[in-house]
Amino acid sequence: MMKKAKGIIGKLKSQINEKHSGRVDIMAVGLISALAGLVIEYINIQLFVNQEQAFALVSLFGVLVILVPPLSIKYYRFSITKKLEESFPKFLSDVTSNIKSGMTLPQALRALQYDSYGKLGPYIKEINAKISWGVPFNKVLTDFAKKTESPNLSRTAHSIIEAHRSGGTMDTVLQAVSESLYELEKIKKERSSSVYSQMLNGYMIYFIFLAVIIGMSRFLLPTFNFGEGGTGFSDTLPAIFRNIVLIQGVFAGLTIGKMSEGRMISGVKHATVLAVVGFAVVVLAG
């Protein structure tokens, strides 16, 4: 009884881990990053609290240690999903061509399992194996969509399944879906190219803003002198400028990513570059 119970518990754990492995990875990395960042901030307070520039730079480094690792994992998974979505229309088109040439669905899939589809290749081999084992095509597509964790591929799989259930032949259904996906990818690329100039404008506006902040801190700030031995408005302006630059860099980067690729997570790389460069420049220029 104990062995059976342990076996059942082990199976449940493996299923849970397989289902939630992505979340667990991000949570674990986020926890480790948070602890490391807090240690850095504690050391920073103990050693550099009286050194303004060093304190600001180490504080920025601590924040990056907390945020960058989990966001990098999330962005990496987003980029993988994007590549899968780009390769899937070609795969469907090739399957359709094979079926029209007289192959059955398992034969059409088997003929494509060694073709180059990038990140989609391992999924195609798994699909081919399941079809060969007699797993229904609808279930294979559903499992594939769940594993990719892509909303677009999930909608596509659901469309294929519903069209096939309604009585359409497989080659006609796959051809219609692949053509729709090709059009969708074409629209995405056209949108990316059309907003490229706006992305450059976003970078240009941010660096102009950065130049204005540096000019104010170097030439306007010294005029705010309220006497020796006292703390005045001029003492708080450097910290205000640094925070403004950091906030502007983060949100400008996220906006650029949203405009160019349609998802906020794609702006993480832009936000990191703008925030780090702007913050470091303001601290060093001050």
Question: pLDDT for 238-255, tens place per residue?
Answer: 778 888 888 888 888 888
> What CA–CA distance (Å, rounded) separates 56 from 36?
17
* Domain tally, the chain: 3
Residue 221 has pLDDT above 50, yes or no: yes
Residue 81 has pLDDT above 70, yes or no: yes
CA-based radius of gyration for the chain? 27
User: pLDDT for 10-29, tens place per residue?
Assistant: 443 444 344 444 445 778 88
Per-residue confidence (pLDDT) for residue 14, from 0 to 100: 45
In a shared domain, residues 38 and 116: no
In a shared domain, residues 176 and 99: yes
Mark which of 80, 99, 133 sits at the end of a domain.
80
Query: Could you tell me if residue 230 is inside a domain?
Result: no
In a shared domain, residues 204 and 164: no
In a shared domain, residues 199 and 276: yes
Lowest mean pLDDT among 43-52, 87-96, 107-116, 163-172: 163-172
In a shared domain, residues 120 and 59: no
Query: Could you tell me if residue 9 is inside a domain?
Result: no
Mean predicted lDDT score pLDDT of the chain = 77
Closest by alpha carbon to 247, among 271, 216, 266? 271
Query: Could you tell me if residue 12 is inside a domain?
Result: no
In a shared domain, residues 92 and 69: no
Per-residue confidence (pLDDT) for residue 286, from 0 to 100: 63
In a shared domain, residues 184 and 263: no
Residue 283 has pLDDT above 70, yes or no: yes
User: pLDDT for 136-151, tens place per residue?
Assistant: 878 888 888 888 888 8
Close Cβ partners of 48 (under 8 Å, ≥ 6 residues apart): 54, 55, 58
Q: For 185-207, what is the mean pLDDT?
A: 79
CA 226 from centre of chain: 48
Q: What token pair was written down for 43?
A: 């050391």
In a shared domain, residues 209 and 255: yes
Domain with 135, as residue range(s), is 86-190
Per-residue confidence (pLDDT) for residue 277, from 0 to 100: 87
In a shared domain, residues 136 and 91: yes
Q: What token pair was written down for 193?
A: 């190219």
What CATH number is given to the structural domain containing 114? 1.20.81
In a shared domain, residues 203 and 265: yes
